[in-house]
Amino acid sequence: MNKIFNYSLLSFILLTICHLATAQKNNPGYQRCYTMEAIEQRLEKDPAFKARFEQGKRDYQFSTQKNETFNTLSYEALGITVIIPVVVHIVLNDPTIVTDDDVNYFIQRLNEDFSGLNADSTNAPEFYDKRGHSLIRFTLARRDPQGIFTTGIERKNGDINIGISEPQAIKNSAAGGLSSWPSSDYYNIWIGKGPEGVIGIAPEIGPGSAESDGVCIDYRVFTNNSCYANPLYNLSRTAVHEIGHNLGLYHIFHGGCNLSSDFGQLTTPGISLPVELLDPADDTPNQLESTNGCPSGNISSGCTVSPNPPGKMYQNFMDYTDDACYSMFTKGQVERMHWVILNARVGYLTSMGNIPPVTAPVNDAELTAVINPGGSENISGNCLSYTIPSCPGTINPRVRVTNRGINNLLSITVGLQLNNEDPVMKSFNINLGYGESAVLPLDAIDLDYGNNALKFFTNAPNNGIDQQMANDTLVKMIEILSPVTGVLIEGFESPTFPPAGWTIRNTDGDATWKRNFYGNNSNASAFFDNFNYDKAGETDDLVSLPLNTISLDSLVLTFDLAHKDYPGAKDKLTILVTGDCGQSYTIVYTKSGSDLSTAGSSTSEYTSPSPADWRRERIAIGGSVLNAGQLQIVFRNENDFGNNIFIDNIQIEPIKLVDRDLQLLLINQPGNVICDGKITPSILVKNAGSKTITGFKMGYRLGIENVISNEFTGINLSSGQTMLVNFSTGNMIAGQNQLTVFSYDLVTTGGNGDEQLQNDTLSMQIGVAGSIEAPFVEGFESFLFPPAGWAIGNYDDQITWQSALAGSTGSYSAMIRNFNYPLTGAIDELYTPVINYNNIDSLFLKFDVAASPSGLDHKDTLEVLITRDCGVSYTSVYKKWGTSLQTVTEFQTSEFQPTPQQWRTDSINLTQFASQSPMQIVFRNINRNRNNIYLDNIKIQTITLPARLKQEGLLLMPNPFQNSFTIWHYKQPSNLQFISVYNTTGQHVWKKEFNNNAGTNILIDLTGKPAGMYIIQLGYKDPGKNTSHKVIKN
């Protein structure tokens, strides 16, 4: 950019140099470049570097002067093509996912873009005259520093990530990375995983030191392999951008319109560009800020000194557009890079690193990787992953073979030996140049229980001798465990993860299930880091070892779960079962978002669950999924870039049928609340044994009353079948009643007597509502709770409405303890008696409520409903939560108990139900485990209007009056326009006009007026409806 440089505004410059693709976590993205941020950090910490930078300012300021001597070049131009030997260092948990073909594609893209011969250059016609064509070319190294033949690719298994500053651990073998080859002869590139979305970083604007030189690129933007590449950055142009920095280029938006220059001095100590390659060489338009996405056409630069057209040069490799929009360096940029090669990287001109030694093998077929089982491949743009078998059966092995010889590889034989059996050989005709690879399918083999040793090897490349036999063989060990019989318990306490016999399916080679050091009453758990994993929709499986299901009725899976959801994200945990090693699945559990959450929401990373955060989950697994004879449990995490999930204390218990077992499943009738006191119990039962049931007896008891029994004969209930058992009618008193149901004297085709007595009894609390006449008030001061005639709907038999020693005006109230109620979403209801009323005109409900703030996440809810059929159907008349419900402003970290000043009175007009007697009012709590809600002084008020008012439509009262009277309308007089008052002489003494705003009660004040008769005239929009009335003032 041609502009005036002001280094005194450096702090502003460095705040604008690199653009974040997203500023908030819930909108994931990548940071295009971190080079300038790293330089800013060095300026703060390194005085020598800062002094060097200050000298660079002075160099640039001098270059902005209009000096004719700048027209004569003081440097030698690069006149030959330079071929740079490249070493690609790959450090990942599984570095083989970046194949040699991926690296070859990368080298091809570098050469197209640096030469300026890339086919997509047509997207910048306005800048054709500025387009540069460099003489810089890249090739993989063919000999190492010791003169030994090499592929130019190093791989290392490890979890050392790319850093955000030098020194970089990934560049140091001793720190777990891979050390550089001599930077004087080789160009080093490191491929790894970037931190927090950083996808590229260079050490300097110019060459780095012997230890730091070379760029770091996130593997997901390195190449176009769809198995792991980000489609926005899959043309290898992040590397083009970062190598541009390493060869002396700044971002083209560096400093905005007037503050700085993208043709500033190098930051490399001891190396300075000539003045002609600073401001005089600047041939990019001024640009206010970076460009994101992939625009088209002419885009305004945001600078008045840069006209549009041509506008922004967003096609420049040193902007921030997506790869598909990058297409060019300028001539000035090319000249700077040429100077750096010729003066600061002169070793490239004589390097032998790109020339194979004479000892390079002519024929060398490398067995690079086993693809199936356990690997992945890209087939026509589709990524296909293969699992490690955990069941016996047939697999179709596939291997990747790479040509490491000088000659093209035209034929190869691949052998596979399973255990100590005779090897099976298969020959292939192919055509692979050096470094090219192919995935070759082998004949199917059968795996069995126990250890399966698969030995793969190559033979006779080009029908000759392989000159590098050390890379001809790979061995894959697959242990298939026999299905486990009995209870399986896994608490992840062993440091080995996954546990023995368990497997992980991680199709993208990125974040997956790991062992964590926070458990539920333990020191470990299985953990998935969704918080730092920005691949929404990606799934990862934790798969159990196989379980023996022969002769089982069911399996019961229980496990502890801890999760805080991230607002707006819905990470999902799905549990599947498979009886055929993943060929097919059945879903038995799926939860996400607030349903999955056990401890609310958080925008902070959830790293250490407290004991109260854990929830025990239980899943019964039965039916046809058990028919295969074995079963595996799959814990599947589906990422939505939300928050972390913890799993602990997995227990899988087999349930085997006994011969004789009648199981009581459910009290189908009555419901939890009834209104007439009569019950006819209906019970759902199941034959949980293997023998057919022909008869049984059942009884039920209400509280401590006598048992009511029934005998059921002539039954033909087969194993696994259910039936409804209906009892004779019994009576219950108003209030809370305990209903207990039980079975006995079981008769089956296999003998008599129940072998599983623990499932022969069910019980439930039933609230029987009484009746009451309106109006009434309930202050909960009685020792009895619920009060006489009231009823409680407690549907989970857990925490519910109770009496509390914290009243609004008295000593007691009704309260629900959400603070100690972990079952989020649970509903508990408090029913009034059946309310009777007759000939009323209005109905009102008033009650006092106390509630504390619920925090930022899910809110406890109070809802008021009307039912006319004892809870079969409802009409909601009130629903509040969060700030609309709370009566105090301070967030309560402990259990809330209100003071008298912390109550509020709420009122609900129920007049719509005035003609619908009888009815009940239901106070419903929806629990979110936040804090307590209190109710007090529940009042039902009725209003009955005078019969004359309803008959005539209005009344004037009192009449006679002293000083004032009221005109009381039965209905709002929306058409009333005026009221005038006259005395008996016709004198106008009072008037009021209306514009659709007249109320039902209008006060007329005649204070000071003499006693006597007055005439009241009411005027309406329709004069034919005008009326006159007489009143007497005493």
The CA–CA distances, whole Å, from 367 to 150, 157, 403, 406, 473 equal 16, 18, 9, 16, 6
Name residue 995's amino acid.
N
Contacting residues for 177 by C-beta, under 8 A, at least 6 apart = 89, 91, 156, 158, 160, 168, 169, 170, 171, 190, 192
Dihedral (CA of 53, 55, 61, 64) sign: negative
Residue 9: count of CB within 10 angstroms of its CB: 14
Q: CA gyration radius for the chain?
A: 41
The string of DSSP codes covering 626-676 is: GTTSEEEEEEEEE--S---EEEEEEEEEEE--BSS-EEEEEEEES-SEESS
- The DSSP H or E segment spanning 596 is helix 593-596
β-pairing, 136-140 vs 662-669, is unpaired
Instruction: Say how far apart CA 868 and CA 793 lie, in whole Å.
Output: 16
Q: Which of 565, 524, 570, 580 is nearest to 392 (CA)?
A: 580
φ/ψ of residue 82, rounded to 5: -105, 125
Pair of tokens at residue 1032: 């007497």
Q: Are 829 and 922 in contact (CB under 8 A)?
A: yes
Q: Which of 494, 495, 511, 490 is nearest to 559 (CA)?
A: 490
The CA–CA distances, whole Å, from 69 to 1, 78, 275, 277, 309 equal 21, 21, 10, 13, 32
Q: Which residues pair with 412 in a beta bridge?
A: 428
Name residue 841's amino acid.
D
Residue linked to tokens 């052998």: 415
Torsion, CA 904, CA 908, CA 909, CA 910, rounded to 10: -140
Is-catalytic flag, 242? yes
Q: Compute CA 905 distance to the chain's CA centroid, rounded to the nearest angstrom.
A: 40
Instruction: Say how far apart CA 589 and CA 595 lie, in whole Å.
Output: 12
Q: Which of 542, 559, 529 is nearest to 640 (CA)?
A: 529
Which of 242, 276, 638, 778 is labelled catalytic? 242
Buried residues in 1003-1017 as b, exposed as e (16+ CB within 10 A): ebebeeeeeeebebe
Q: Are 1005 and 979 in contact (CB under 8 A)?
A: no
Question: Which residues carry out catalysis?
Answer: 242
